[in-house]
A = this chain, B = another copy of it.
Amino acid sequence: MGRRSDHSRDEIRQMALQAAESIVTEGGYKSLSARKVANEIGYTVGTLYLVFDNLDDLVLQVNGRTLDLMVKWLEQRVDIRDRGAETLCRLASSYIDFAEQHLSRWNMLFEYVTDKGNVLPDWYEEKVSRVFRIIEYALPVANNPVDQASDEQVARVLWASVHGICTLRIRQRLDLAGGQTTKQMTHTLIENFLRGRQAT
């Protein structure tokens, strides 16, 4: 078969991304393959390589969309005009809910490691920092910041920590923790951390 022009290049891209997402959602990262995606959208492998540089490129774009979805998810669950410990806890909760709800796609966000030493394109980094900005905003201003860390820095410390709890929990590296839930753990973390930050 030759030229068809059933879909524009961009339509094909969108279809492929959507197909990839459902494949990952159903069977996890490892079940993703070029031929599977191609099949699903009624094209062949060759076409996929007209639209994406390679599979890594496709994965990165899916990950970008996952980040977008995550921002939406958080904004839907937490009023981003709120601040304080309670808000942070709710954000953490929502983050963990997202990870559990979209397990495979969340996993792919971190399983995926580029061959080129983890250097990611700017448009992707931008999406990452959009997530961080939500946390930053919710972080209450400390009365007495003993250490020199700025709010931006503290936001990232705190969020990296929440992420760490989330990761180890989901990868089941924490089930000796005496039966505490991930939410309890993030609560412990945030409460103590903020209290310590206020106090001298």
Contacts and interface: CB of A to CB of B under 8 A. Distances in A.
A51 interface: no
Chain A contact patch, size range: 35 or more
Given A150-B178, A196-B199, A172 B118 contact: yes
Interface stretch (A42-50, A69-77, A158-166): A158-166
A193 B176 CA distance: 22
Contacts of A191: 146-147, 196
A66 B132 CA distance: 32
A146 to B, nearest CB: 8
Nearest to A174: B156
Interface of A: 28-30, 107, 110-111, 113, 115, 118-120, 125, 128-129, 132, 146-147, 149-150, 152-154, 156-158, 160-178, 180, 184-185, 187-189, 191-197, 199
